[in-house]
Each structure stands twice: as C-alpha cells, then as structure tokens.
Amino acid sequence: MSQPNTFYITTPIYYVNDVPHIGHAYTTVAADVLARYWRLRGRDVFFLTGLDEHGQKVQQAAAKAGIAPQIHCDKLAPQFQDLWKRLNISNDTFIRTTDAQHKQIVQRYLQELFDKQLIYKADYSGWYCTFDERFWTEKDVADGLCPDCKRPVEKLSEHNYFFTMGQYQDRLIDHIKQHDQFIRPESRRNEVLGFLQTQKLGDLSISRPKSRLSWGIELPFDNGYVTYVWFDALVNYLSALEYLPQEKPTGNRFWPASVHLVGKDILTTHAVYWSTMLMALNLPLPDTIFAHGWWTVDGEKMSKSRGNVVDPNRMVETYGVDAFRYFLLREVPFGQDGDFSQSAMATSINSDLANGIGNLLSRTLTMIERFAGGTIPADGLPALPEWESKIAQTSRQLPSVIEQGFTALTFRDNLQAIRELIGLCDGYIDKAAPWKLAKNPDDQGRLNTVLNTTARALRLLSVLLYPYMPQTTAQLTQQLGLALDFSKPLSEETYQWDAPIAGARICKGPGLFPRIEAQSGACNIKGTPETKLIKGAKPVSETPIPPQPAASAPTSAPLASSPTPQAPAPAQITIDEFMKIQLKTATVLSAERVPKSEKLLKLQVSLGTEQRQIVAGIGKKYEPETLVGKTIVIVANLKPAKLMGIESQGMVLAAGDSEVRGLATILEEVEPGTKVK
C-alpha cells in the first residue's frame, strides 16, 4: 500500500510514433484532475507521464526517413510535451525511455533477475506481430492476423531470453482476490481473473536479437540482444522516481504507485507482466491499475484510414481548453467506452457550461452589481427558508461526496453532483425573484440573503471545479472578488459552506463560456457538423429571468392514446402544421434516474450525427438499464426546456393515459436519426 499522505499517479508512457489523439488526452487529463485535487487536499503528489521511444516501429520509421532513431524521437517528442502544456497538464516530470539513467536502471533490474536465475535462454518459434511487437501462440492467431490489431503476423524462430513469469500465476491470482481495488473497474478485474484461472500462464520473452532489432536497451548479460520494449517501458514507473525529481529522491516515499491509469488495450501488460516483474523483484504492487475505455467517433473506431482521428490541439483551438477537459470526463462514466461527436461537445458546452456555471455566475454578479453596489452583502432575513436550507445542506455534503468520487475515480458522478447544486441555485433565483424584492425597501434583508446564498455557492463551486477547469476557476474567483491560491493546499475552511464571503468586491468580466452553434454543410470530423462560437454571444440569462409557468414545460412523454367515447374530439390541425413537427428515430445510449423523482429518467440518445439529452416521464414503467440500445421515436425540433433543473432537448413519444403504458418504437432496424413520417 502507498505511503500515508502521498499520491503517486501515472499515465502510460505513450509510444513516440503515435500522433497525440483524444485517447492520449483522455488518460492524461484524468490523471491531471486527480493530481490537482489531491494537491489541494494537502497530499504529497507525484504525477508522471512520458514517452516510450524504443522498438521496431521507431527503428523502421527512422530508417525510412534516413535519420538515426534518436534524432527521430527527438523530433517527435515535442508534439506530446507541447500538447500537455496546452491542456494545462500539471505533471511533475516527463520521462523518455531513451534517457541514459532510465537505461541503466532497466539493465540493473535485468541483471538482478538474471542473477536470481529468473531469466533463461531458449529456442522459440511463434507468430510475431511487428505492430504490437509481441509473439502469439498458434491458438491465438486466426486467419494469419494478430488478435489485437488484426494486422498480418509472420512466423519467426529464434533464440531468446525468457522471464519465468508463469511461476507467479497462483500468487497473482491470490493477490487480485485479496485486493479488490487492485484492478479496476470490476469488469476488468473479472476479465483478468478469468484469464488467469482458465489458462496456463507461460513465460515471457524479454529479448530481441540485435540482428533483427538494434534500437533498444542492450541486455547487460548478452550484448547480442536488446530488451523487449514492454520490459523497458514498464520499468519507467520505478526509474522515474530515482533520477527525475529535482529536489529529493522519491522512490521510498512514493512507491508503490497509488494509481496506474491505462487504456483497456494494455491492461494485460500492466496487470500480468508488470505485476509478476515486481513480484520477482520483491517489490510491492501498485494500489490500483485502472483501465478506462476507448473512444469512437460518431460510432466508428478511430483510424487514420477513416480520417476521423480527433486532434486534441484542434479541439482546444475550437472550444477552449477547459471546455474540452470538462467534456472528456463528463461525457461517459470513467472506465466505459465513449463516443465523440462535435455536436455532443457543443451540447455539453451549451447546456452544462454556458447555461450552467457561466449563467449562474453572470446572473449572480449582475444582481450584486445592480442591487448591492457591487459588494457581496451579508445574510439578512430568510427569503425562501426551505430552498436556503436545501442549498446549505447540499453544499455542506458536497465536498465529502466529491472526495468519495475522486477516491472511486467516478469523475462523471462528481460533475453531476456539481451540476445539481448549480441547478438548485438557478431554481432558487427563479423562485426568490430578487428583481421583485429589490423594488420593496422592506425586502432588502431577504434580497441580501439571496445574493449572499448564490455567491457562497459559487465560491464553493469554484473550489470543487478547479481540478477539472483550472483556467475557468481562476476567472470565476477573480470575478467574485476572491483571492484563492490554488498553487498550494487549501485550508479546510475553504471547503466549508460557512466560509466568509460577505464584503468581497466583485469584478464582473466577460462570460465564462460563449454558446456554440452547429453549422450544417461543413464537416470538421467525419460525419459531424462543424461548430463555431457565436460571435458576441453573451451567457444565457445574463439578466434574471422569471420562472415559466409549469404548464409551459413539456411532460417529456406525451401520451398518444385514442380518445374514449366520452372524450371531446381532439382539435384538428392542417397538414402544414403537422409537417412542422420533426419526428426522428433515436438510439438510447444510456439512461439514469433523475434524483428525487420516481417518474423522470435522463436519457442520452444518438440521432446519428448528434447526441442529445432528453428527460422523459417514463420512470414508473421502465428501469433505466432496460432502455439502453432501444430505438425510440422523439420530437426532434422541440424547444429545449428544463425539468427539475436538467435540460431536455426533445420529447420521447409514448402511449398511455394517466400512466405510461409503452414507448413508441420501430420494428425494423433503422439508422438513428431517420425521419418518421
């Protein structure tokens, strides 16, 4: 187990020949959010990322370019280092496996295992995948293709050195069973256990002959070979602690790692190869190896041939760094696969950021400017005691909820909890109607309470949102007139609802997030409409907006039953009126219950070229998990409305009267987004 009050977080070291894409950004932003949070909470954090620069693909690419492999790596490394700067990644250091010190440490560990007789030389014949740089057995290969990347493999026979990995199989199974947090999420833990309990674990080839591959770390006991690229790469988690910290050695203080963040495609190398290597070296295993899912683009796998690889640099240029960081961790539960589309990105920015935290800040500051002379007032008389009590109770519980979420790596749940407080504050402003209170001098105390309550909520939100959106938080706190230093741990008082804020002089600035509109006819990423910022757009509801009557909000699941004989005849409409309604098919991607409502479900649905959020009143009829994958019919051109503070961007069609009896679905298999006539 890691040392008390330390937190060692790592990303994989990315292969230098890859162009940085959304998958690299996803892992690294997640690690950064964890690092920033635990630094604020006072833990001694070490955050490592870097590059894997050895192997056959690098050697081949350098040869094709007519340059030395090291020069090739030196040219490519800045593309990652520059991107991490653009994404505000706060890594403590950056390792490259071509570092001389790293090479020496790898050779030291190889020699130690060799001296223990845990490495031996033997003949080997098998199928080799150059792309993955690994051997496969006969039973693994089907139709001459690598089971991982589906590229052709070639038959190789050669002498190699092997690490006696197989002897640690039972010990590794026991460790996984005894440490339920070792491999996460649980589905990945079960996957690794299932593999280990049903198949015999063989020994691992940890060398490549120089005659075939010279670009690697030479074996200390046989200069005719270089080490297998994965043995070299995995050691980075230890070697970095020995030579990269500039102030003091960190190995004894930070090992074992608190969390290794990896993609699910490299879970086996970390959970099995790395774990058995550590066992052989008599070193403790990391606390957690967390394997997250993959990103697709509009439902398709990312690939250069499809031309749909998402460039994080372009996303930052188009939407801003904090909006991109937010989207990555808000869109899907961490650990599951996610689908990227620019329309989903625009929806996230508009509904969560522009209409959410941006709107709440703008409304609050505008009212303080108009009704309190630009200074946050102290509490006065209660305006709406039930609402104020609910906001206070939610705010007092929220820091604990957020900490539990960071411990569990449930980033999306954290952001949802934050959004609920924002929605609660929006509802409070609408109900309290401070613009009406300002008209009556006798209501000044109640008005002050409304302004103070929303300002206090914003102060707390800024603290909790900082790990996700550091730039935005700096702007938010500045506009609130607060002097919070996020470069060092924050006091416990900062996380308290009762932390003082009255008397702060606000400094109202531009909106945090301009709204985004979709442009039809132009495609930035395959199959998705290009988006742009609305020029000169102000955050929504910059001035207070009175609440709409409840009857004007859609019920989300209109009931399409036939009238009984006693019912009055329905009003007739013309064909032109009917043609204004756009009915489309939609595939349900996810569904969850709206807190404190037994009727409402929040659905994420795909219309093919875009993803939407719809709140539907079908919760008494359906459990959320039974809806995923269903093709339903929605009203696609309904004006968005908020239900219990959650934006609904359409309406689900259902049959029933006083109770929902069934969803309107499509019998045949059709693409999402198909028009219904």
In percent, the amount of the chain with pLDDT more than 90 equals 65
Cα Rg of the chain, angstroms: 28
Neighbours of 8 (CB within 10 A): 27
SS3 375: strand
Among 266, 274, 277, residue whose Cα is nearest residue 164: 277
Residue 622 has what pLDDT? 84
Among 464, 498, 460, residue whose Cα is nearest residue 482: 460
Residue 523 has what pLDDT? 32
Residue 554 has what pLDDT? 31
d(CA 564, CA 585): 29
DSSP-assigned states of every residue in 160-200: EEEE-GGGGHHHHHHHHHH-TTSEESHHHHHHHHHHHHHS-
SS3 669: coil
Residue pLDDT, tens place only, 39-68: 999 999 999 999 999 998 899 999 999 999
Is residue 664 over pLDDT 80? yes
The tokens for 361 are: 């800040």
Q: What domains are defined for the chain?
A: 6-293 (3.40.50.620), 341-495 (1.10.730.10), 554-663 (2.40.50.140)
User: What type of residue sits at position 15?
Assistant: Y
Is residue 32 over pLDDT 80? yes
Place of tokens 């104020």: 388
d(CA 409, CA 335): 9
In percent, the amount of the chain with pLDDT more than 70 equals 89
d(CA 125, CA 561): 69
Residue pLDDT, tens place only, 570-591: 567 777 677 779 899 988 877 8
SS3 206: coil
Residue 234 has what pLDDT? 97
Higher pLDDT, 588 or 363: 363
Neighbours of 462 (CB within 10 A): 25
Confidence of residue 526 (pLDDT cuts 50, 70, 90): very low
Q: Kindly report whether the peptide bond that precedes residue 672 is cis, defined as omega within 30 degrees of 0.
A: no
The tokens for 531 are: 């988006």
Sequence-separated (6 or more) residues with CB below 8 Å from residue 431: 384, 387, 547
Q: What is the mean pLDDT of residues 322-345?
A: 92
Structural contact between residues 245 and 46, judged by C-beta atoms closer than 8 angstroms:
yes
Sequence-separated (6 or more) residues with CB below 8 Å from residue 605: 586, 587, 588, 589, 611, 612, 613, 614, 632, 634, 650, 672
Confidence of residue 240 (pLDDT cuts 50, 70, 90): very high
Residue pLDDT, tens place only, 198-239: 999 999 999 999 998 999 999 999 999 999 999 999 999 999
Q: Count CA atoms closer than 13 A to 435's CA, side-chain side.
A: 12
Per-chain mean pLDDT for the chain: 87
Neighbours of 341 (CB within 10 A): 24
Residue 570 has what pLDDT? 57
Among 616, 608, 670, residue whose Cα is nearest residue 638: 616
Residue pLDDT, tens place only, 145-198: 888 778 888 877 788 999 999 999 999 999 999 999 999 999 999 999 999 999
Confidence of residue 658 (pLDDT cuts 50, 70, 90): low
Is residue 272 over pLDDT 70? yes
Confidence of residue 459 (pLDDT cuts 50, 70, 90): very high
Q: What is the mean pLDDT of residues 593-621?
A: 85
Residue 569 has what pLDDT? 52
* Of 98-102, 382-386, 422-426, 609-613, the least confident: 609-613
Place of tokens 């007519």: 66
Residue 518 has what pLDDT? 53
d(CA 211, CA 225): 8
